[in-house]
């Protein structure tokens, strides 16, 4: 067969396969529109002068889902218009999107995913660094992949990798720097019986910025147990070894890491509590160590009305001894009410209290209230 004909036949075969797969998939699109308003007593969490703010939001999003016997694709784009009544300079149009693709076989699963986030540090930095008053643009791009395969009658091996790139808009004398974060992990899961599972994992991560390079190696063993159909728990013990190289030399920190979690369910109540020590990147382009505990509770009053409570408290410290300006304690407590008024209409109202104390500043706190109405299409 001549070469052009072979190429045409190959393209035709690929098109036929794609069309066949497309017809075999079940497609669903669920758009949503949310209109909301908010009040915050100290939106910058300024320790000296409370900066009150009133805001309104308009959010448009959708979830595109394609599913079949061995494939599932999910794409979730979202845009948000955020306007402030007394600070027009803070007005923004934010954009978010994420996707994940899952390919299933009889004994293995292959996953791909990624995301894009463009927002202001005013709305993104409370958990990350606590530096809210800078109001720079933050853009994050991420990609991840994983492979999960059954090994033997009770075992499972998972290999995963991810990379994220975070960039901050220009800010005069800003301590926030652009960085790249990469993680590679290997895990082995062993089911000892129908209720208990052990997970052994090894992780290697790197954080690279213009001013420092940090590497971390971690190991962990976790035990997961289903005590009853309504009570589940887990506990894990591991270690980490972080090394940071910068203009001042090389620093090293190593230690133990512990995590735990418990979930309990009742007819109308559910409760989740847990805690963990983890190493994660932050806005100065290096790893920080975070020790956190959290509690979440939900109460259902019927098929349409529910109430939630969440509490989180954490202590953050740098893994190097140079310019440790990001050491801080913070907490976040919130209550919320969700009312499904009709099949496609949902009303949400919430109240949240935030507190933090940076290593170089006095304690600061603020209370925020939000209310929003969401319409979801078919």
pLDDT in tens, 79-127: 999 999 977 788 999 999 999 999 999 999 999 999 999 999 998 999 9
Q: How many C-beta atoms lie closer than 10 Å to residue 368's C-beta?
A: 18
Residues 37-71: tens digit of each pLDDT: 999 999 999 998 998 999 999 999 999 999 999 99
Mean local confidence (pLDDT), 212-237: 96
pLDDT reported for residue 88: 73
Residue 6 clears pLDDT 90, i.e. is over it? no
Contacts of 342 (CB under 8 A, 6+ apart): none
Q: Pick the residue with more confidence: 75 or 325?
A: 75
- Distance of alpha carbon 287 from alpha carbon 237, whole angstroms: 20
Is residue 173 over pLDDT 80? no
- Which one is predicted more confidently, 249 or 267? 267
Hunting for tokens 């320790």 — which residue is that?
Answer: 47
In this predicted structure, what is the pLDDT of residue 324? 57
Distances (CA, A) of 41 to 185, 355, 364: 42, 12, 11
Report the chain's mean pLDDT, rounded to a whole number: 90
**What local confidence, expressed as pLDDT, does residue 322 receive?**
58
pLDDT at 264 exceeding the cut of 50 = yes
Tokens coding 53: 């703010």
Radius of gyration in angstroms for the set of CA atoms belonging to the chain, rounded to a whole number: 24
Q: Is the pLDDT of residue 160 over 50?
A: yes
Q: For 172-186, 213-227, 257-271, which range has the lowest pLDDT when averaged over its residues?
A: 172-186
Residue-level pLDDT at 200: 98
pLDDT category of residue 16 using cuts at 50, 70 and 90: very low
Contact status, residue 302 vs residue 285, Cβ threshold 8 Å: no
Class of residue 122 by CB neighbours under 10 A (exposed 0-12, middle 13-18, buried 19+): buried
């Amino acid at each position: 067969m001549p070469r052009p004909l072979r190429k045409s036949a190959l393209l035709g075969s690929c098109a036929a396969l794609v069309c066949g797969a497309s017809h075999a998939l079940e497609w669903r699109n669920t758009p949503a529109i949310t209109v909301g308003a908010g009040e915050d007593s100290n939106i910058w969490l300024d320790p000296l002068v409370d900066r009150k703010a009133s805001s309104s939001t308009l959010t448009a999003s959708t979830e595109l889902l394609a599913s079949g016997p061995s494939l599932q694709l999910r794409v979730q784009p979202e845009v948000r218009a955020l306007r402030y009544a007394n600070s027009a300079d803070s007005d923004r149009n934010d954009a978010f999107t994420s996707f994940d693709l899952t390919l299933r076989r009889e004994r293995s699963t292959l996953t791909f995913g990624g995301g894009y986030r463009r927002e202001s540090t005013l709305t993104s930095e409370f958990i990350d660094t606590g530096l809210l008053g800078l109001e720079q643009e933050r853009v994050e791009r991420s990609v991840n992949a994983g492979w999960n395969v059954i090994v033997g009658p009770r075992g499972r091996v998972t290999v995963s990798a991810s990379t994220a790139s975070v960039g901050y808009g220009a800010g005069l004398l800003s301590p926030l720097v652009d960085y790249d974060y990469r993680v590679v992990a290997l895990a082995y899961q062993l089911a000892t019986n129908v209720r208990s599972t052990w997970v052994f994992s090894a992780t290697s991560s790197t954080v690279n910025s213009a001013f420092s390079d940090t590497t971390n190696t971690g190991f962990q063993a976790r035990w997961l147990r289903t005590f009853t159909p309504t009570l589940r728990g887990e506990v894990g013990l591991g270690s980490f070894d972080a090394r940071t190289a910068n203009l001042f030399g090389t620093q090293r920190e190593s230690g133990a890491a512990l995590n735990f979690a418990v979930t309990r369910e009742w007819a109308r109540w559910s409760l989740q509590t847990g805690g963990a020590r983890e190493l994660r990147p932050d806005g100065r382009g290096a790893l920080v160590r975070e020790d956190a505990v959290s509690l979440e509770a939900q109460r259902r009053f019927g098929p349409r009305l529910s109430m939630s409570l969440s509490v989180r408290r954490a202590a953050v410290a740098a893994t190097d001894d140079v310019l440790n300006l990001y050491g801080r304690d913070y907490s976040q407590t919130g209550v919320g009410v969700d009312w499904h008024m009709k099949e496609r209409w949902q009303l949400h109202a919430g109240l949240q209290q935030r507190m933090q104390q940076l290593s170089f500043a006095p304690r600061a706190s603020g209370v925020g209230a939000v209310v929003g109405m969401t319409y979801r299409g078919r």
